[in-house]
């Protein structure tokens, strides 16, 4: 069996990584990057160091700061126009999953033509696109180093999951100093997103001897350091450990794949514009209970990575301990208890079933789900 690890050409981690990435950009003789970000990050001053590094190298730039959570196809079209109108020749995405995914999608259309809705699915991108630096400001999505992007098609009310290795940025940047100002609720949401990536990539059929150790280490680090970062957002050690953890989880799921948690979580995000990490966190223990029957030994290893002593438990009991640990961590970082607390009603659920079944992530689940089991899963998450 062949195992594949798809990674950026260069990954920079640690305080000062942003400046190092601009040095690499200057060495490529590129003259006008499009910076894709959101207005909040710009107002918080998190881009000031980037601007200074570009100014020092005398590299002009254009800023596209319209990105919102759950970026849409309309945003992608506007970004393509901005890139072309300003004669840009490269990309710098700054943010969490939303700006980086949006930049990935803009890059696809700019270099391949058509519309972003043409690329929903797996392996549909022909050209790599312009040089691309992705600067991560959260510790959750691993968008800075993965082949996935998620874009909302508002017309059809679905989240498109675009999977292609040509989306992987050339340079991935994780500078924990950029994460110090992250609010506690965003830290919690993105941290639980990373935990979901790690856990799903451990139990998916695509898991292998290269991906499992990375994912288990991610589980261990998140369990230990997420509560610390939520309680004290200025703890630079905690920020650095979480940045490492989400990167490890990204390395794992980018090759091993994801599963039903993501397939189910994409739907409330598409129809109600809810935070992806929160939806994942609410659904994660529900799906894990379902999957534990088929992969009890894998869940034993997850429980142990989260600090549980499973020596006196059988495999199923150990798997249920993993579920308990996940639920406890969610409560510790103040994740909402259920979808109903986010305004979801039972009448919303049926419309999510078929899109969840058709989601590209569903194929990576270790146990086959029926439409009935998906609906019951949603009901249990209310």
Report the CATH number that the domain containing residue 134 is assigned in CATH. 3.40.50.1970
The pLDDT of residue 4 is above 90:
no
Nearest to 68 by CA among 95, 89, 38, 90: 38
Q: What is the structure's pLDDT at 218? A: 98
- Say whether both 28 and 149 belong to one domain: yes
- Say whether both 151 and 244 belong to one domain: no
Q: What is the structure's pLDDT at 157? A: 86
Q: What is the structure's pLDDT at 146? A: 95
Q: Which CATH number fits the domain that encloses residue 241?
A: 1.20.1090.10
Residue 329 located in a structural domain: yes
- Say whether both 155 and 189 belong to one domain: no
Per-residue pLDDT of 332-379, as tens digits, reads: 999 998 999 999 999 999 999 999 999 999 999 999 999 999 999 999
Q: What is the structure's pLDDT at 353? A: 97
Tell me the pairing of strands 33-36 and 62-64: parallel
Residue 105 located in a structural domain: yes
How many domains does the chain fold into? 2
Residue 33 located in a structural domain: yes
Among 111, 145, 179, residue at a domain's last position: 179
Q: What is the structure's pLDDT at 5? A: 83
What is the pLDDT of the chain when averaged over all its residues? Answer: 95
The pLDDT of residue 271 is above 80:
yes
Provide, rounded to the nearest whole percent, the portion of the chain with pLDDT above 70. Answer: 100
Confidence of residue 3 (pLDDT cuts 50, 70, 90): confident
- Give me the residues paired with residue 339 across strands: none
- Say whether both 156 and 197 belong to one domain: no
Confidence of residue 72 (pLDDT cuts 50, 70, 90): very high
Identify the domain containing residue 284 by its residue range. Answer: 184-381
How confident is the model over 45-54, as a mean pLDDT? Answer: 93
- Say whether both 304 and 334 belong to one domain: yes
The pLDDT of residue 43 is above 90:
no
Q: What is the structure's pLDDT at 44? A: 85
Residue 3 located in a structural domain: no
Per-residue pLDDT of 281-340, as tens digits, reads: 999 999 999 999 888 999 999 999 999 999 999 999 999 999 999 999 999 999 998 999
Per-residue pLDDT of 98-157, as tens digits, reads: 999 999 999 999 999 999 999 999 999 999 999 999 999 998 899 999 999 999 999 988
- Say whether both 208 and 107 belong to one domain: no
The pLDDT of residue 185 is above 90:
yes
- Say whether both 323 and 238 belong to one domain: yes
- Say whether both 120 and 202 belong to one domain: no
How confident is the model over 11-34, as a mean pLDDT? Answer: 94
Confidence of residue 242 (pLDDT cuts 50, 70, 90): very high
Among 150, 179, 208, residue at a domain's last position: 179
- Say whether both 192 and 155 belong to one domain: no
How confident is the model over 160-188, as a mean pLDDT? Answer: 94
- Across 45-49, 107-111, 243-247, 360-364, least confident range: 45-49
- Cα 26 from Cα 204, distance rounded (Å): 40
Residue 2 located in a structural domain: no
The pLDDT of residue 190 is above 80:
yes
Q: Is 109 in contact with 80 (CB distance < 8 Å)? A: yes
Residue 315 located in a structural domain: yes
- Say whether both 93 and 160 belong to one domain: yes
- Say whether both 157 and 195 belong to one domain: no
Provide, rounded to the nearest whole percent, the portion of the chain with pLDDT above 90. Answer: 91
């Amino acid at each position: 069996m062949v195992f594949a690890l798809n990674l950026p050409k260069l990954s920079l981690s640690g305080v000062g990584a942003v400046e190092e990435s601009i040095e690499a950009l200057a060495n490529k003789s590129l003259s006008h990057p499009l910076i894709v970000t959101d207005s909040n990050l710009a107002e918080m001053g998190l881009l000031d160091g980037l601007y200074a590094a570009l100014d020092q190298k005398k590299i002009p730039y254009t800023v596209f700061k319209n990105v919102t959570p759950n970026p849409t196809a309309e945003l992608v079209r506007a970004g393509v126009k901005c890139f072309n109108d300003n004669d840009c020749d490269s990309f710098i995405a700054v943010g969490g999953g939303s700006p980086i995914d949006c930049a990935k999608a803009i890059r696809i259309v700019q270099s391949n033509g058509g519309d972003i809705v043409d690329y929903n699915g797996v392996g549909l991108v022909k050209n790599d696109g312009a040089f691309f630096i992705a600067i991560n400001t959260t510790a959750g999505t691993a968008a800075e180093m993965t082949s996935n992007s998620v874009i909302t098609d508002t017309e059809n009310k679905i989240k498109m999951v675009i999977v292609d290795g040509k989306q992987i940025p050339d340079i991935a940047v994780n500078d924990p100093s950029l994460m110090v100002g992250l609010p506690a609720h965003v830290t919690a949401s993105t941290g639980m997103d990373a935990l979901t990536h790690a856990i799903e990539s451990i139990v998916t059929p695509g898991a292998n001897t290269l991906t499992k150790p990375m994912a288990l280490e991610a589980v261990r680090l998140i369990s230990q350091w997420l509560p610390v970062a939520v309680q004290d957002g200025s703890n630079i050690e905690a920020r650095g450990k979480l940045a490492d953890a989400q990167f490890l989880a990204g390395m794992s799921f980018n090759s091993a794949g994801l599963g039903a948690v993501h397939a189910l979580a994409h739907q409330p995000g598409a129809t109600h514009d809810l935070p992806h990490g929160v939806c994942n966190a609410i659904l994660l223990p529900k799906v894990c209970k379902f999957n534990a029957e088929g992969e009890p030994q894998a869940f034993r290893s997850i429980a142990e990575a989260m600090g549980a002593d499973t020596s006196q438990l059988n495999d199923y009991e150990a798997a249920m301990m993993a579920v308990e640990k996940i639920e406890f961590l969610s409560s510790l970082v103040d994740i909402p208890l259920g979808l109903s607390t986010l305004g979801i009603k039972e009448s919303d659920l049926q419309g999510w079933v078929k899109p969840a079944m058709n989601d590209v992530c569903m194929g990576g689940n270790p146990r086959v789900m029926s439409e009935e089991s998906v609906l019951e899963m949603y009901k249990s998450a209310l």
